[in-house]
Amino acid sequence: DAGVTQSPTHLIKTRGQQVTLRCSPKSGHDTVSWYQQALGQGPQFIFQYYEEEERQRGNFPDRFSGHQFPNYSSELNVNALLLGDSALYLCASSLAYEQFFGPGTRLTVL
């Protein structure tokens, strides 16, 4: 079992660009959550997907959108990137309360 995988590992973008991050959940998990972790802070909840629908959303602007595919994998899209979007983006999959995290994608916006 590969666990939760994320791609790419690192990404550098410039302001105004768009980015897509990808996540494959742990085998058997049907729920995927996305978090943003800024330097020195804990993970901040962006949104959660279940059965291909956004089930819950944190306090993030509409520039942040996502998708879940029939195989439960998920994408996080961020439009009109800002410098403040630079962070580690974590994906977590779950069946119940316990979430399993991927290694994250480090996004740098210049």
Partner 1 sequence: DQQVKQNSPSLSVQEGRISILNCDYTNSMFDYFLWYKKYPAEGPTFLISISSIKDKNEDGRFTVFLNKSAKHLSLHIVPSQPGDSAVYFCAASFRDDMRFGAGTRLTVKP
Q: Among 13, 22, 30, 44, which residue interacts with partner 1 (rule: CB under 8 A)?
A: 44
Assess 102 for contact with partner 1 (CB under 8 A): yes
Span near partner 1 by CB under 8 A; candidates 12-20, 61-69, 73-81, 94-102:
94-102
| 43 is an interface residue for partner 1 by CB under 8 A | yes
For 10, residues 6+ apart whose C-beta sits below 8 A from its C-beta are 105, 106, 108
23 binds partner 1 (CB under 8 A): no
Min. distance of Cβ 42 from partner 1 in angstroms? 4
Q: Does 66 bind partner 1 (CB under 8 A)?
A: no
Task: Kindly tell me which residue out of 99, 107, 109, 110 binds partner 1, with binding defined by CB under 8 A.
Answer: 99
Name every residue whose Cβ is closer than 8 Å to that of residue 5 and which is 6 or more positions away in sequence.
Answer: 23, 24, 102, 103
The number of residues that bind partner 1 (CB under 8 A) is 23
Rounded to whole angstroms, the Cα distance separating 48 from 68 reads 9
Contacts with partner 1, residue ranges (CB under 8 A): 4, 33, 35, 40-45, 48, 55-56, 59, 90, 92, 97-104
